[in-house]
Amino acid sequence: MSSTMHTAAGDLRKMAENMKRARTVELAAMADDTLQTAIVISSGMTPTSEISGELNHPYGHGPSNARGPRGPIPNAGNPAIVNEQDGDFLAHWRQHVGEREFEVFNDSPIAEYLEDGTETMVPRQFLELAQSIALPDPDQRLSEALDRCIPS
């Protein structure tokens, strides 16, 4: 192999390694951004005493329960913002970053019920909200990180 071809092959290998590293670094940054956003939106300011008291369990299905009509959902009516918890839910946020993808999740026993809802409680879908806020265009963000590896 000629020295020119050898140099070109080496340059391509180096660029491929740089792109792989850039993708991993950007995926980790995207996971961090999503995790931090999830933590913020699961730190609502409405205490449980207010939700079960004057708001009369606003996250239940239907317009009323045994004690009367439900109050308004706090946080501008957005059920995805999880209100003041005992700390267990907030302490269970996790992330995993792989070579090609990342995952942000909450492994608290109540997370699934909050996220998906139940037959008596509306779904809260906090992960969807966190991702839409933190990563409005994840493909574009990853593409820009990879583009920075290509010499101009």
- Predicted structure pTM score: 0.83
pLDDT tens-place string over residues 93-116: 999 999 889 999 999 999 999 999
Query: 34: how many CB neighbours lie within 10 A of its CB?
Result: 23
Stretches where the chain sits below pLDDT 70 are 1-3, 5-6, 66-68, 85-86
Q: Which of 88, 4, 90, 78 shows the shortest CA–CA distance to 40?
A: 90
Instruction: Dump pLDDT digits (tens) for 64-82.
Output: 776 667 888 888 888 888 8
pLDDT attached to residue 121: 86
